[in-house]
Amino acid sequence: MPDHRRPAPSRPRPPLRKPPLVPQVTTLWEYPSQHYGQGEQGSQAYRGATPSYVIWNVLHRFSAEGARVLDPFCGSGTTLDVCKDLRREGIGFDLVSSRSDVRQADARSLPLKQNSVDLVFMDPPYADNLDYSDDPRCIGKLKANGQYQRAMRLALAESMRVLRAGGVMAIYVCDVWQKNRGLFPLGFELFQMARDLGMVPIDIVCVTRHNRTLQMGNYRKAADEEGFFLRGFNYLLLFRKPDKASARKPAAGEAR
């Protein structure tokens, strides 16, 4: 008699099919593949790489040809490759440069002039969820107990400084749950930070995650038995930097 208590062996996953590259019109985005087209944007081997579909849609909707696009956490250069495809001028920085066109700099202190870029796309570390480098300055080494939040407030303020009035900032981020430490709602926290800095919300998009660990039997079993949830989506937080007129505070007695 078969032992029904034993879980069935996991089946190998079929190759992920790259979906058509089309502009998204809802606030729920799903991409089964990391890259679009025949090749790669950035590197599949880079831990925590951003889906190029997400960057493509942000740039397609919120920028024009020739726009200057900044990625202060550029990693393997995915944003730069999408910029080339869309004829934007990509500017990428990272503490540890993975290729020649990713310049070395800290997201909290960028070597750019004020109001000098048209759009900022960032996929920052999600606290100390992944180990990115040995650089002690890395924000990815900071725990989400206040250290990470203080560092990210500085990074957001710096990106806002170099973003022109009317420009768009896109923040791609995921919440973190850690055993014995609980949930850290980084999406909510970064959203509020950006608002406190004066950024105006455009919208919030939910991007379905297809991380391989979500399909692994041991991860799913642990989540079920220990009563926690695996991260199934990322936030895409969209903001616009106000111009001077819209940012001006109303005078006493003026209509609000």
* Of the candidates 243, 91, 60, 79, the residue with the CA atom closest to the CA atom of residue 167: 243
- The string of pLDDT tens digits covering residues 227-250 is 777 888 999 999 999 987 555 454
Alpha helices in the chain (DSSP H): 52-62, 78-86, 147-162, 186-196, 217-226, 244-247
Please give the chain's pLDDT, 256 residues, in tens. 444 444 444 455 555 577 788 999 999 998 878 899 888 998 777 777 899 999 999 999 999 999 999 999 999 999 999 999 999 999 999 998 889 999 999 999 999 999 999 999 999 999 876 666 777 788 878 898 899 999 999 999 999 999 999 999 999 999 998 877 889 999 999 999 999 999 999 999 999 987 666 666 676 887 787 777 788 899 999 999 998 755 545 444 444 4
Q: What is the pTM of this model?
A: 0.85
Q: Please, are residues 46 and 92 in contact by the beta-carbon 8 Å criterion? A: no
What is the spatial distance between Cα 129 and Cα 122, in angstroms, rounded to a whole number? 17
Domain boundaries defined on the chain: 28-242
CA atoms within 13 A on the CB side of 195: 10
3-state secondary structure at position 83: helix
CATH classification code of 28-242: 3.40.50.150
Q: What is the DSSP string of 129-197?
A: SS---S-TT-GGGS-TTTHHHHHHHHHHHHHHHHEEEEEEEEEEE--EEETTTEEE-HHHHHHHHHHHT
